[in-house]
Amino acid sequence: MAVVLITGSSTGFGKLAALEFARHGDTVYASMRNTAKGEALLSEAKAANVTVNVIALDVANRASVDAAVAGVIKESGRIDVLVSNAGIGIHGPIEDCDDDEIHAVLETNVLGVIRAARAVAPHMRAQKSGTIINVGSLAGKVSAPFGGVYSASKHAVEALSDSLYFELHPFGVRVVIVEPGGFETEFGANRILARRFNEGSPYVEYEQRFNASSSKLPGADQHESAQKVADVIVEAAKSDAPKRRYLVGQDAQTIGGLAKQMSDEDFEKAMRTVLDFWD
């Protein structure tokens, strides 16, 4: 059975993945900044008759990351799977996002991924085995209005995952990126709302038109269960030959697939035709 370390496990994909790995009999370390928020996870684990270890880890703090990884190694002797799931969102036009808001997103979504990978890589290289799974997003493949900063952070995860793949492959370490679309999680409620994106912003009317158009897309109000993402994370970790990328969700597969197959100009025309919000 594998020793699994997951970041951002208090809710959403991280919590569900922790439970799913535990159901497979793995030794699971579910990390989060505030371990008091792990009560729901522990309660669900108890109800499922599985064991999950909740530990403190703040991906925005290098000492915290290094200490958590060292603690897992000391206790279990190895780390077979790292799931870098911790992340925060931000909503607002780039012009209205302040430096501190942008910094908070990049600190967690980009530097957090780097810190976690950098901490486990020496141990996985020594083992000559291991899997790093970075949770990206459809937003890292396709940007939308009012999500540019978040998309930038997830696009960075794409680049980091590619480089890590080539750097660690010779040492027997696998790197995978999971790219979810829209799912039922607490993520949207917890995202940063740019403080200057208010009634005084010139983008407010534009956002209203964009939201109205987006809401008419088929299935826009019917997000899939987040368990699907957890299942893919576990599948990738267990596979003898995982894919490098997993687009998860009907919206991710449809939009991501179109963006990959079409030129930038044709993709823009298709989106403008479907959404019909931009004169």
Catalytic residue among 29, 150, 165, 203: 150
SS (H, E, C) the chain: CCEEEECCCCCHHHHHHHHHHHHCCCEEEEEECCHHHHHHHHHHHHHCCCCCEEEECCCCCHHHHHHHHHHHHHHHCCCCEEEECCCCCEECCHHHCCHHHHHHHHHHHHHHHHHHHHHHHHHHHHHCCEEEEEECCHHHCCCCCCCHHHHHHHHHHHHHHHHHHHHHHHHCEEEEEEEECCEECCHHHHCEECCCCCCCCCCHHHHHHHHHHHCCCCCCCCCEECHHHHHHHHHHHHCCCCCCEEEECHHHHHHHHHHHHCCHHHHHHHHHHHHCCCC
**Is 150 tagged catalytic?**
yes
Q: Which residues are catalytic?
A: 150
